[in-house]
Structure formats: C-alpha cells, structure tokens
C-alpha cells in the first residue's frame, strides 16, 4: 500500500504519513517544535489507499474531532494547541503538542460486531473478557468493555490483545488508567450520540504522555467515522450488519460485481464511480451534522 507524497508546506518539515493523515514538525513561528497534523481526503479499504479521494473528508474529520475534544475536555486533556495553520491546509489541520504515545490502541465496545464478533464466535470472549452466550452481530453488550489492540506496522492489521498483555507492555498503573479513560470517554460519547439518534457501537482512542511528565493526553483523532462505528439508532436490528456512517459504502461497492475487482489478486482497487464518492461524502456530512447540530 503506497501513500501519495505529502505536499510541501512552508515552515514545516514532513515527518510521517499514514493512511489519512500527514504529520509535519513546525520549524518556524510561535509553535516551532510542535507538530502539524493534516487530515487528507484520502480513503482506504482492504489495506489499499484508493486513487479516488472523498471531497471534504479531511475537513469533516478535523471539525468533528475538535467538537468532540470540547465535549470531553473535563474528562481528559487533548493534544490540540491551535487551529491557526497554513492557508494551504486551513480547516483540515491542527497544531498539536508532541506526545510520547502509548503503543496501544484503546478500544471501547458497547456493541458486538467486527473483529470482536469474530473473537466471540471463536471463544465466547473478546480480548479475554467473557460475554454471555447467544449474542449476535449488533447485539448490545451488558456493559461497555475495554478491548485493546496492538498498534500494527503500516499495512498490517491491529491485533486484539488482553488487558494482561497491555499490563505487560506498559505496566499496571498506566494500563488501568488507559482502561478507565477509554471507558469514560465512551460512556460520555455514547450518551451524547444516543441523544442525537445515533448509536456509538465502538471507538478507538490513542493516548500519550506529555514528555517529562505522567500527564495522560488524548491524541490523534477522536470519535470520527474513521475511528468509530456510528449506526442510525432507528435502523438498529441485531442479527445483521448495521447500516453505518463510515466507508462501508466503499467496501460494499468494491466487493460487488459492478466494480470488477478481484480482492484475492494483488491488483489495486479500481477508481470509485462518482455516485459512490457522493454517497460516501454524504454519510460523513450527515454524521457530522447529526452529532454536532452544526451545518457543514
């Protein structure tokens, strides 16, 4: 999976690019030494970054994360220092503080689906947490659970692990703190989303330490359709795949005969047709507007 070259930005040095975001270190100005995190319009599926982009996706992800950071500020501090960014990336970038990131994907699940469902069907557990018998795809869990994962190398899949494995990796005190914060963030966000007619099935968070301190900070993106599963509450029906506010439209089209793509081959996916691009963009916009009450 290749990543398009990140654009050059004045006063910033490119550091890293992921599937969606480009990271720069600022070399000039009041925040020199801090990072500039830019959300692109790239979209990935099945470990491929597609040639087709989704217009405004980066701006939507950035605005949604900023809105959520505000809703969570009393629970945990976040990494955003400023939204005063270069004109070329205005609206889809933030200046953020350097953090020593924990090597753990912090996942909270309130509903059973995805890799959690696969684990449950195989063992009756998710990340070592035993669950009641008889649960289906989309079932609400008796209570939200912390289901951490490893941070995989680029192009690989994250792997679900037990809480004990997190303790072995970062120590008991930090592991307990991350579990506590993850479940607190999920509880707050799940309640807010439910009041707006949206189910937050699960979410992935990333935390880091302020260098030289033991202060835990929420980093990266938060509670966007790229890091969370949002379902329309009025369409929720356990026992089937739920309609969602994410890139499932893209995945479904790529797997359909219409795309002509053979997933088992090494060939990259074909370009997305305009109607799939527009439907995907519309889902991101709808998620943002329903959750925030703002017009994009």
Task: Based on the fold, state whether residues 158 and 61 are members of the same structural domain.
Answer: no
Domain holding 206, by residue range, is 100-235
Domain boundary among the residues 235, 258, 275 is at: 235
Task: Based on the fold, state whether residues 228 and 143 are members of the same structural domain.
Answer: yes
Residue 197 is assigned to a structural domain of this protein: yes
CATH number of the domain within which 135 lies: 3.30.470.20
- Taking only the tens place, the pLDDT of each residue in 255-271 is 999 999 998 888 999 99
Domain boundary among the residues 96, 119, 146 is at: 96
Quick check: 156 pLDDT over 70?
Answer: no
Share of residues in the chain with pLDDT > 90 (%): 87
CA dihedral 258, 260, 264, 267 (to 10 degrees): -140
Task: Based on the fold, state whether residues 207 and 128 are members of the same structural domain.
Answer: yes
Task: Burial-class residue 206 by CB neighbours within 10 Å (0-12, 13-18, 19+).
Answer: buried
Task: Based on the fold, state whether residues 199 and 217 are members of the same structural domain.
Answer: yes
Residue 84 is assigned to a structural domain of this protein: yes
- Taking only the tens place, the pLDDT of each residue in 49-82 is 999 999 999 999 999 999 999 999 999 999 999 9
Task: Based on the fold, state whether residues 210 and 129 are members of the same structural domain.
Answer: yes
Residue 285 is assigned to a structural domain of this protein: no
Task: Based on the fold, state whether residues 90 and 18 are members of the same structural domain.
Answer: yes
Residue 287 is assigned to a structural domain of this protein: no
Q: Read off the tokens for 168.
A: 């072995």
Residue 251 is assigned to a structural domain of this protein: no
Task: Based on the fold, state whether residues 221 and 183 are members of the same structural domain.
Answer: yes
In total, how many domains does the chain have? 2
Task: Based on the fold, state whether residues 153 and 171 are members of the same structural domain.
Answer: yes
Judge whether 102 and 178 are in contact, CB under 8 Å: yes
pLDDT of residue 155: 53
Dihedral sign for Cα 49, 190, 72, 209, please.
Answer: negative
Judge whether 280 and 248 are in contact, CB under 8 Å: no
Residue 242 is assigned to a structural domain of this protein: no
pLDDT of residue 153: 58
pTM for the predicted model, two decimal places: 0.93
Residue 243 is assigned to a structural domain of this protein: no
CATH number of the domain within which 89 lies: 3.30.200.20
Dihedral sign for Cα 134, 140, 145, 150, please.
Answer: positive
- Taking only the tens place, the pLDDT of each residue in 93-151 is 999 999 999 999 999 999 999 999 999 999 999 999 999 999 999 999 999 999 999 97
Task: Based on the fold, state whether residues 163 and 183 are members of the same structural domain.
Answer: yes
Task: Based on the fold, state whether residues 119 and 187 are members of the same structural domain.
Answer: yes
Task: Based on the fold, state whether residues 104 and 64 are members of the same structural domain.
Answer: no
Sorting pLDDT into bands at 50, 70 and 90, what band is 1?
A: low
Residue 65 is assigned to a structural domain of this protein: yes
Q: What angle do CA 185, 16, 263 make, to 5 degrees?
A: 80
Domain boundary among the residues 71, 96, 121 is at: 96
Task: Based on the fold, state whether residues 82 and 110 are members of the same structural domain.
Answer: no
* Average pLDDT score, the chain: 94
Strand partners, 204: 107
């Amino acid at each position: 999976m290749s990543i398009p070259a990140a654009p050059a930005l004045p006063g910033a040095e490119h550091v890293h690019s992921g599937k969606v975001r480009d990271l720069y270190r600022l070399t000039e100005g009041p925040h020199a030494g801090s990072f500039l995190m830019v959300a692109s319009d790239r979209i990935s599926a099945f470990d491929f970054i597609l040639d087709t982009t989704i217009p405004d996706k980066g701006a939507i992800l950035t605005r949604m994360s900023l809105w959520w950071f505000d809703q969570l500020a009393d629970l945990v501090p976040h990494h955003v220092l400023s939204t005063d960014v270069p004109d070329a990336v205005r609206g889809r970038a933030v200046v953020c503080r350097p953090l020593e990131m924990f090597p753990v994907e912090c996942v909270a699940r309130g509903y059973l689906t995805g890799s959690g469902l696969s684990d449950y069907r195989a063992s009756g557990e998710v990340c070592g947490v035993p669950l009641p018998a008889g649960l289906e795809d989309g079932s609400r869990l008796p209570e939200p659970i912390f289901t951490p994962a490893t941070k995989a190398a680029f192009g690989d899949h994250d792997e679900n692990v037990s809480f004990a494995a997190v303790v072995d990796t970062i120590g008991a005190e930090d592991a307990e703190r991350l579990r506590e914060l993850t479940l607190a963030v999920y509880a707050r966000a799940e309640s807010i989303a439910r009041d707006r007619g949206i189910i937050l099935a699960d979410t992935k968070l990333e935390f880091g330490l302020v260098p030289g301190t033991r202060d835990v900070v929420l980093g990266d993106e938060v509670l966007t359709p790229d890091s969370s599963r949002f379902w329309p509450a009025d369409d929720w029906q356990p026992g089937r795949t739920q309609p969602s506010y994410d890139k499932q439209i893209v995945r479904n089209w790529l797997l359909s005969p219409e795309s002509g793509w053979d997933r088992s081959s090494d060939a990259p996916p074909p370009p997305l047709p305009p109607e799939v691009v527009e439907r995907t963009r519309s889902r991101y916009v709808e998620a943002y507007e329903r959750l925030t009450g703002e017009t994009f």
